[in-house]
Structure formats: structure tokens, C-alpha cells
């Protein structure tokens, strides 16, 4: 039997399961479980606590659900890239390959240097290559208070915070957006955008 529960719900079920033996399992479990089948996760949260006691059939069932979620987390690792910079004015790569099979792609960005962000700040700002220069100019104009990104700039697909040495931040991109290979990433810290930039390639 496959049940779709929200994480919150699973935690509740496991919690109850671990309370060992406090719950007497009735023979009518199946009947009580049935309405939950195929229910959207958002609705499952609303299941009354009274019926949760009856749904707790075994700890094993709860463990299975958690295990299948872990498998999902593993496959996501293929849809990410590590990007870094340091106290020199450059990214670790000028091209990021995005697997076409990914729906979303995560960039984990790290500033591996030691200088503070007000003298050697770095961010990762994603926009169409054709918009890059304007995004940089407006970003510089927006100032440090805005991490050198113009607030609500519709040309910016995603951006990290402005980082100083030792800091890291991540962004998640929809791969469908990147598919025409017209997108780039750039650091908009003043003076960095000319050299700190690279392109996405989906393949
Ligand atoms: Co920079």
C-alpha cells in the first residue's frame, strides 16, 4: 500500500509509533486508512489527530516512507554544481554544464578567501547574457545595502547574497529557463562584472 504523507505527518506517525505500545491497533486499520490514499499532501496535514492513532499500523511502515524520501534526496545531487571564488577576482569556472534531465539546478557558491565583503565581495547573479551589462550597472547603482542587485529586477533570474571570505550561499534555477543557453552568471560587485562571469550550457 502506498501512502503519501507530508513530512510533518510522517514525523507525527513515527513519533506515535515510537511511543510503543501506547496505541492499541484495531482491526479496522484498513478502513480508516483508505480515505487518506492519494490525497494531496496539502490536505493530508488536516487529518484529525483522533484518526492518526488508528492509522499507526506499525513502525516499519513509517520507516519505509522515510527511506524512499532519502533516495529522492540522493538523485538531486546530480543536479547541482559547486562554484567558488577567493580573494582574487575570478570564479572557479567560466562555464557551468547543466544536465538537461534536471528540472531544477542548484548552484552552491562559496567565497573561499578571507577578505570581507566590503573589499572583496562576491555574489552570483543569473540573467540573460544580453542583459548582463545593464544588470551589472543597475546592481552597482543599488549599492551594498542591496548586495549590488537592483531590487525586484525582473531581468535577474536568481542571485545569491553578497559574500565575504568564508561565507557561502546557494541558489536554485529552473532548468527550463536555461535551456536556450542564453544565460550567464556574473558577480555584480563594483569592478568585478567584466571578468567574473560565465555561461550556462544545458546538455
Ligand atoms: Co566578485
pLDDT tens profile 15-63: 343 443 333 434 444 444 444 444 444 444 444 444 444 444 344 444 4
- Cα(163) to ligand 1 centroid in Å equals 9
- Cα(121) to ligand 1 centroid in Å equals 5
- Cα(137) to ligand 1 centroid in Å equals 14
Would the pTM of this model clear 0.75, i.e. be above it?
no
Are 91 and 81 in contact by the 8 Å Cβ rule? The answer is no
- Cα(120) to ligand 1 centroid in Å equals 6
pLDDT per residue over 109-121, tens digit each? 999 999 999 999 9
- Residue 23 has phi, psi (to 5 degrees) of -100, 120
Per-residue pLDDT at 11 exceeds 50: no
Rounded mean pLDDT of 106-133?
98
Quick one: pLDDT at residue 125? 98
Quick one: pLDDT at residue 77? 47
- Cα(140) to ligand 1 centroid in Å equals 12
Question: Is residue 27 exposed (0-12), middle (13-18) or buried (19+ Cβ within 10 Å)?
Answer: exposed
- Cα(186) to ligand 1 centroid in Å equals 8
Quick one: pLDDT at residue 78? 85
Are 162 and 117 in contact by the 8 Å Cβ rule? The answer is yes
Amino acid at each position: 500500500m502506498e501512502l503519501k504523507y507530508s513530512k510533518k505527518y510522517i514525523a507525527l506517525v513515527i513519533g506515535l509509533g515510537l511511543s510503543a505500545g501506547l496505541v492499541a491497533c484495531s482491526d479496522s486499520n484498513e478502513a480508516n486508512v483508505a480515505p487518506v490514499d492519494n490525497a494531496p499532501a496539502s490536505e493530508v496535514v488536516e487529518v484529525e489527530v483522533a484518526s492518526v492513532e488508528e492509522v499507526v499500523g506499525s513502525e516499519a511502515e513509517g520507516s519505509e516512507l522515510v527511506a524512499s524520501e532519502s533516495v529522492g534526496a540522493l538523485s538531486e545531487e546530480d543536479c547541482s554544481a559547486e562554484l567558488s571564488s577567493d580573494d582574487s577576482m575570478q570564479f572557479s569556472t567560466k562555464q557551468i554544464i547543466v544536465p538537461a534531465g534536471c528540472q531544477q539546478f542548484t548552484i552552491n557558491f562559496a567565497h573561499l578567501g578571507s577578505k570581507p565583503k566590503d573589499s572583496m565581495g562576491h555574489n552570483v547573479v543569473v540573467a540573460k547574457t544580453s542583459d548582463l551589462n545593464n544588470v551589472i550597472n543597475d546592481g552597482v547603482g543599488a549599492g551594498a545595502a542591496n548586495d549590488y542587485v537592483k531590487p525586484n529586477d525582473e531581468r535577474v533570474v536568481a542571485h545569491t547574497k553578497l559574500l565575504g571570505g568564508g561565507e557561502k550561499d546557494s541558489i536554485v534555477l529552473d532548468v527550463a529557463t536555461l535551456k536556450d543557453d542564453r544565460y550567464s552568471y556574473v558577480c555584480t560587485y563594483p569592478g568585478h562584472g567584466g571578468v567574473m562571469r560565465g555561461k550556462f550550457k544545458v546538455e
